[in-house]
Amino acid sequence: MDIMKKINRDFIIKQSYERLFSYVINYPFVRNISFIAIDSEIDNNMSKLDMPKKIKNFFITSKSKNIKLKSMLIKKITKRIIKKVENTDIIVSIFINDNDNSNTIKEIINILIALFNAQRDNIKLINIKCDNDNYYNYIMDSIIALQFQTKREQYEYIYDITCDELDKHFEKENFCDFQNDRCIANRNKMSSKDIMGCCYSFTYNVLGDIKNKKICKFLKGKKCTTKCMACKLYTCKYLRSKGITFKAKDNVLLSSFFNKKQLRVLSCNYFISKEEIIEKLLEKNYMPYIIYYIMCKEYITVKQ
């Protein structure tokens, strides 16, 4: 299934506030406009500009020092904000500034998630100004994911692009450094086996018992034939000693789209297929996280 055929990129532009306001004035919007500006330096970026009269609601997620703008400041998309923007055409303008970081990007993605969940059909335009390619790609991938109608499609998209990105990163940096079927940990005698790196599946329970240790069933022709997120994130003891680690909670997209329980599923379910993991992510589980954290150790598969 080519789910990418469903994606619309025509409503995403890259403009300054001046050109964006000019677009608002000249474009024949049928309804009033709600304008949501996500900009940590809006006082500098929007100085000396008057808002078009078509804009009925103007909201800013910023620590603005401009007295005129303070009444428009919001911290997140609340039910009150959603009520206000109903029956209007919504424009979202995102400015990424030099002092912004990955936490800022997560906040932006959370705002987009709240807007798309509540007012998907009313979002008419998204403006993105960003010189950081990684940050821009995070936001674009989030917008693409949010256009899918089902959680399954959203999860699969975020899951796939994250796995692909990790594969590219490992390949580029050559962390495992395989030579004649032996990784760098094998060669330095810092693994339990002599060949094939860490691709040995086993089961493990809360008591610490390990059993059924064998070459992973997905390793065929010396290549992995599935996308297991936990395996993609995993680094062995040798690599960890070199400071090479990857955690789901530190990944911008994973930590934005998945809750604590789901991040646990992504991090700890080794040696199973992508399809099995997606099913686990879609499960409705109302168990408190701390209990879930303890109980899940009894049935998940983990690596050491």
**Number of Cβ atoms within 10 Å of the Cβ of 282:** 12
pLDDT of amino acid 67? 59
Beta bridge partners of 129: 95
What single string gives the DSSP state of each residue in 188-202?
TT-SSSSSSTT-EEE
For domain 3-149, give the CATH number: 3.40.800.10
Summarised one tens digit per residue, pLDDT across range 87-146 is: 999 999 999 988 899 999 999 999 999 999 999 999 999 999 999 999 999 999 999 999
Most confident of 52-61, 63-72, 156-165: 156-165
- At residue 69's C-alpha, the angle toward residues 65 and 72, to 5°, is 125
Summarised one tens digit per residue, pLDDT across range 161-200 is: 999 999 999 999 999 999 999 999 999 988 878 888 888 8
pLDDT of amino acid 40? 83
Instruction: Determine phi and psi for 51, rounding to 5 degrees.
Output: -75, 140
Q: What is residue 213's three-state secondary structure? A: strand
pLDDT of amino acid 23? 86
Q: Is 183 exposed, middle or buried (0-12, 13-18, 19+ CB in 10 A)?
A: buried
What's the predicted TM-score (pTM) here?
0.86
- For the chain, the maximum distance between any two Cα atoms, rounded to a whole number of angstroms, is 71
Instruction: Determine phi and psi for 43, rounding to 5 degrees.
Output: -60, -35
- Report the Cα 114 to chain-centroid distance in Å: 14
CATH 3.40.800.10 residue spans of the chain: 3-149
Summarised one tens digit per residue, pLDDT across range 169-178 is: 999 999 999 9
pLDDT of amino acid 2? 45
Q: What's the rounded mean pLDDT across residues 7-22? A: 81
Which of 8-12, 51-55, 226-230 is predicted with the least confidence, judged by mean pLDDT?
A: 8-12
Summarised one tens digit per residue, pLDDT across range 252-262 is: 999 999 999 99
CB 238 within 8 Å of CB 185: yes
pLDDT band at 304; cut points 50, 70, 90:
very low
65-to-41, 47, 57, 173 alpha-carbon distances in Å: 10, 12, 19, 44
| Whether the predicted pLDDT of 275 surpasses 60 | yes
